[in-house]
Amino acid sequence: MKLKISLRNSASPALPYLPNRLLRRKSGASPALVFSIIACAVILFSGCLEKIEPTYKENDIPRLVKKICKQEYNLEVTTDRVANTLWIYAPLDKLLHKDYGIKEDKIFDEETVDKLRNILTTIGRVLISSDNTPEFYALVVSDIKLGLDYMLIGDVLDIKKSYAGVIPWTEANRRYVVRLKASPEAIADTTGKHLQAEEIKLGGFLAEQVAQRITAEFQQEGLKKYFKVDKSTGSFIDNAFLFEYSIEPLFKPPKETNIQEEILKIIAYCLRSYDFNNFSTVELKNLLTQDSLILGKTEIWARPMD
C-alpha cells in the first residue's frame, strides 16, 4: 500500500482547490466539508463503544478493522500499520453528492455517508478496545471512478480523551485533519496501490490542524462575510513552524478583529493543548503584505489561549 500523502515534515491546506469545474463549490463551503465528516465522527463514538471491553491485541488491529468492515458492513478495506500510524484505505464507486458545488449543504452522497460512518465506527471499536494502540490513524476514501482522495486523520489520544470527558466532542471534532484532492491515480485502484503509508508525526499533524483551524475561524458564520480566506498553510521543518496565510478583509466587522492576533491565539491553543514543546520558532507570513513575524517557544507559550 503506497501513499504519496505524508505528514512527516509538512502540512498542506486542509481543503486544496480541486482543478475540476465539476467540483467547484460556492465560497464558504469549505467548512461544510470538514464538518460533514465530523458529524460522522460524532456518531462513531456515541453509544456502543462504552460497552466494549479492551480485549483486542496490538498486532491484531489492522486485521480486525478489515475483518469487521467486511463481515458487518460488507465493505472491502485495505489496512496497514506503519510505526505509530494505522492506515485504512476504502475504495468507493461514488464519493460526492450529485449537487456538490451547487448546493452548499450537499457534500457527500447519502450512501457514502453511511459507509464512512460504518468504517469510522469499526475503527473506533477496535482502537478504543485495544491494549496498545497506534498514536494516529488515517482513513483514505477514494472515488475510484472520478479519481478523488478524501483523507481523515485523527489522534487516537484525542478520541480517548473525548470519550473520557476530558475534552468535549465539539473540540475533539475540530482536531481532525481533513483533506480532499483530485487523484487520477485512484481510478480503478481497489487496494490502495497509488498510496504510500508513512508514519505521521505530531509536529506536521499540528501544523496542518492549525492551518485548518485558521480557515475555519475566518469562515465561521460571524466572520465569513467580512473576510475572504484565499490560503492558509502550515509546515513543520527542522523543529520550526511556518504558517502562511492570505486573508483579505472585505468589510470592517462590528467587533474589532486583528487577523494576526487571532492566528496567534489558535497557534498557542493548539501547541499548548497538545503540550508540544519540541519546536524552536513559529513564523507567520502574511502573503498579502509579505510581512513576517517570528516568535520563539517562550513567547508562544506566554500568549493567551483565548
Say how far apart CA 156 and CA 117 lie, in whole Å.
17
Kindly state whether residues 227 and 284 are assigned to the same domain: yes
Report if residue 306 sits inside a domain.
no
Kindly state whether residues 122 and 214 are assigned to the same domain: no
**Structural domain boundaries enclosing 275:** 204-301
6-10, 214-218, 286-290 — which is least confidently predicted? 6-10
**pLDDT of 80-117, one tens digit each?**
999 999 999 999 998 888 888 787 778 888 889 899 99
* Final residue in a domain of this structure, among 150, 166, 200: 200
**pLDDT of 63-75, one tens digit each?**
999 999 999 999 9
Say how far apart CA 122 and CA 76 lie, in whole Å.
12
- Per the document, the length of the chain is 306
Q: What is the pLDDT of residue 115?
A: 93
Report if residue 283 sits inside a domain.
yes
Kindly state whether residues 166 and 189 are assigned to the same domain: yes
Kindly state whether residues 148 and 118 are assigned to the same domain: yes
Kindly state whether residues 28 and 100 are assigned to the same domain: yes
Report if residue 99 sits inside a domain.
yes
Report if residue 264 sits inside a domain.
yes
Q: What is the pLDDT of residue 49?
A: 43
Report if residue 165 sits inside a domain.
yes
Most confident of 10-19, 21-30, 54-63, 235-244: 235-244
Q: What is the pLDDT of residue 40?
A: 45
Half-sphere exposure of 104 (CA within 13 A, CB side): 7
Give the single-character DSSP code of 149: E
The CATH number of the domain holding residue 256 is 3.30.70
Report if residue 187 sits inside a domain.
yes
Kindly state whether residues 23 and 117 are assigned to the same domain: yes
Q: What is the pLDDT of residue 54?
A: 58
Amino acid at 175: R
Kindly state whether residues 132 and 91 are assigned to the same domain: yes
**pLDDT of 119-177, one tens digit each?**
988 998 898 888 889 999 999 999 999 999 999 999 999 888 877 788 888 898 899 99
Q: What is the pLDDT of residue 48?
A: 46
What b/e readout covers 92-109, taking b as 16+ CB neighbours within 10 angstroms?
bebbbbeebbeeeebbbb
pLDDT over 90 for what percent of the chain?
Answer: 54
Place of cell 500523502: 5
- Which stretches does DSSP call E strand in 176-273? 177-182, 195-196, 227-237, 240-249
Q: Angle at the Cα of 81 (from 80 to 87), degrees rounded to 5?
A: 55
Kindly state whether residues 115 and 20 are assigned to the same domain: yes
Kindly state whether residues 188 and 257 are assigned to the same domain: no
- The yes-or-no verdict on residue 13 having pLDDT over 60 is no
Give the single-character DSSP code of 240: E
Q: What is the phi/psi pair of residue 88, to 5°?
A: -130, 125
Q: What is the pLDDT of residue 101?
A: 78
> What domain count does the chain have?
2
Q: What is the pLDDT of residue 244?
A: 97
Q: What is the pLDDT of residue 53?
A: 54
Q: What is the pLDDT of residue 145?
A: 93
Kindly state whether residues 95 and 182 are assigned to the same domain: yes
Count CB-CB contacts under 10 A for residue 38: 21
Say how far apart CA 251 and CA 157 lie, in whole Å.
40
**pLDDT of 25-81, one tens digit each?**
333 344 334 434 444 444 444 444 444 455 778 889 999 999 999 999 999 999 999
For 169, the enclosing helix (H) or strand (E) is helix 169-174
Contact yes or no for 22/101 (Cβ under 8 A): yes
Mean pLDDT throughout 283-306?
Answer: 90
Count CB-CB contacts under 10 A for residue 64: 20
Give the single-character DSSP code of 96: B
Kindly state whether residues 191 and 208 are assigned to the same domain: no
* Final residue in a domain of this structure, among 149, 183, 200: 200
Kindly state whether residues 247 and 187 are assigned to the same domain: no
* Final residue in a domain of this structure, among 200, 230, 258: 200
